[in-house]
Amino acid sequence: MTKAEQAKLDKDGLDVWADLHRYAAAGDIAAVTADDLNRLKWFGLYHDRPKTGHFMLRVRLPGGILTADQADVIAELAETLAPGRLELTTRQTFQLHTLALSDVPAVFSRLQSVGLQTVETCGDVPRNVVASPVADLAADAWLDPTPFVLALDDHFSWNRDYTNLPRKYKVTVASGGTDATQAPINDLAFIPARAADGTLGFNVWVGGGLSHEPHLAVALDLFVPADAEQVVAVAAAVTRTFRDHGFREKRNHARLKYLIADWGAERFRAEVEQSLGSTQPRAAADESQAPYTGDVLGVHPQRQTGLSWVGLLVPTGRLDATQLRELARLSRRYGRSELRLTLNQNLVLPHIPTDDLPTLLAEPILSELRPEAPSLQRHVVACTGLPYCNFATIETKERAWTLAGELDGLIPLDVPIRTHLSACPHGCSQHSVADIGLQGGVVRAKDRSGTVPAADILLGGALGSRPALARRVATKVPFSELTSRLAGLLQAYQDERTEPTEPFSDWVARQTDDGLRTRLGFEPEPVTDGVWSEEGSWNQTAKGGG
């Protein structure tokens, strides 16, 4: 048994609650045992870099929906007790940085006063359940996932049946209509479908996950009607099967994706049905959905008459407390005191009376958090990076935003191109499924004077109904070269696409790796052998391609 597995057996992650308050009262990070420091993740706490007693705190926010009052409290904490960077994440929630250990109980109390919690946002547990931020708003919506998201969150939260999973576990409920849910990269995904008799429900997909060895979810060939009790029952059976049979020998080989790859969907489904105690209907026909971009920016009429939503661009998810307070005010003034977070680090103001749109759009903050933007900046995503992440060796937020802006200035695009930058192989920006994925680190400068930021270039990732993993076509590319090389690639795409609407991923799929490297300005030679280390530097001697 590994040390991590033994620690979970010795004490459940939720049992660190009393110890957490004791540690906070003492205010001495040195007094926190290594195992308890890891267990703090069960309450959403990660030790910020440089590990001097300050923490990142992640909020649990099912479906990414929050009230104006909740937004005000998060802004208050970002101003006072956690004055580091405030971030929007790729799982529809907030991260606060530089929270002192001694202030943790006060932060928990303040969040709880407005109905928020942080439980199980980290650790080997079911994480924040996500859904489309416009699930019940989009004009083409026909199945609202919100009741199922809330039922799943209620079932998983504080439930000790699931506080010792082999590894982290991510769940999504997709919606009927506009696709903005990233279902293929979740451990468990419910995909809207209709049975032959017209019954609405979900097909179940399992085993998605990224990081070092990305896998796309596979169909379980199982249909569940759109009934919250039945959806929860199936989710519970899938999760129990993972808990009881998932691999625990190695931390980097413990996600559900590895069990699915080893067993196959048929055997896994049989175990799920045994856990349920009954045979389930086979999958129904998936309903066709629009190609995935995750893009809900701009002004859009809602399916509810006379209302619109306004999607706002939050540059690489960086938001300050003043901006969040102002957004809360706008949600009260123009909407229904509601805000929604997207899965690509942006934000939605829903339920705006159409007649009020001109006044809302004239508000000063909408010149900072814009409803419209050029293609690259509109779709750019970046992980936390420096200075807070313990695995990062490069800054990501400003670097990704600047790169996207430079490319927008050089190559005006009329189609969505998603550019995602991660600071290490863990892939928190989801670079493995981006149109242009950048896996960053540092390499030795050509003049041997030190190290410089660099990235591997991965191309052709896609989500939605035709998901694909991006192909690693270039390695160790200095950031100083990225703008010119990617500009050449994008120009080639615009010149060679078969029709104006051909997705970038389809164009990439038609190219050879050598052809893509040539368009990037490289000689057509194999990708360098080696991998990025956990610390973000290039290891020439290691094999396996990262």
63: DSSP letter:
G
Residue 179 has pLDDT above 80, yes or no: no
The pLDDT of 540-546, averaged and rounded, is 38
pLDDT-derived band at 544, boundaries 50, 70, 90: very low
pLDDT-derived band at 180, boundaries 50, 70, 90: confident
CA 292 vs. chain centroid, Å, equals: 14
pLDDT of residue 541: 42
Residue 353: both structure tokens together: 């009376």
Residue with tokens 């981006």: 434
Q: Is the peptide bond before 387 cis (omega within 30 degrees of 0)?
A: yes
pLDDT-derived band at 528, boundaries 50, 70, 90: low
Percentages of the chain per state (helix, strand, coil), in multiples of 5: 35, 20, 40
The pLDDT of 268-296, averaged and rounded, is 87
pLDDT of residue 542: 41
Q: Is 174 in contact with 423 (CB distance < 8 Å)?
A: no
The fraction of the chain above a pLDDT of 70, given in percent, is 95
Q: Is 455 in contact with 441 (CB distance < 8 Å)?
A: yes
The pLDDT of 419-443, averaged and rounded, is 95
Q: What does pLDDT average to over the chain?
A: 93
For residue 113, the tally of other CB atoms under 10 A from its CB is 11
For residue 229, the tally of other CB atoms under 10 A from its CB is 9
Helix H, strand E, coil C: the string for 290-331 is CCCCCCCCEEEECCCCCEEEEEECCHHHEECHHHHHHHHHHH
Amino acid at 443: V
d(CA 205, CA 188): 6
Residue 488 CB contacts under 8 Å (≥ 6 apart), including other chains: 519, 520, 521
- In degrees rounded to 5, what are phi and psi of residue 13? -55, -35
The pLDDT of 165-185, averaged and rounded, is 91
pLDDT of residue 319: 97
For residue 495, the tally of other CB atoms under 10 A from its CB is 8
Residue 326: both structure tokens together: 């102002």
For residue 262, the tally of other CB atoms under 10 A from its CB is 12
Residue 535 has pLDDT above 60, yes or no: no
The pLDDT of 411-434, averaged and rounded, is 95
d(CA 392, CA 410): 29
Q: pLDDT tens digits, residue range 445-501?
A: 888 888 999 999 999 999 988 899 999 999 999 999 999 999 999 999 999 999 999
CA 385 vs. chain centroid, Å, equals: 15
d(CA 480, CA 141): 44
Q: What beta strand segments (E) does 123-267 contain?
A: 130-131, 171-173, 188-194, 200-206, 218-225
β-bridge partners, 396: none
How far is the CA of 497 from the CAs of 18, 488, 506, in angstroms?
A: 60, 14, 9
CA angle 433, 436, 440 (to 5 degrees): 90
The fraction of the chain above a pLDDT of 90, given in percent, is 88
The pLDDT of 168-175, averaged and rounded, is 95
Q: Is 171 in contact with 137 (CB distance < 8 Å)?
A: no
Q: Is 113 in contact with 366 (CB distance < 8 Å)?
A: no
Q: How do beta strands 65-67 and 86-88 pair?
A: unpaired
Q: Is 214 in contact with 427 (CB distance < 8 Å)?
A: yes
Q: Which long-range contacts (CB under 8 A, 24 or more apart) does 3-9 make?
A: 4/38, 4/251, 5/248, 7/35, 7/38, 7/39, 8/124, 8/164, 9/164
pLDDT-derived band at 545, boundaries 50, 70, 90: very low
Residue 395 CB contacts under 8 Å (≥ 6 apart), including other chains: 385, 386, 387, 423
pLDDT of residue 178: 79
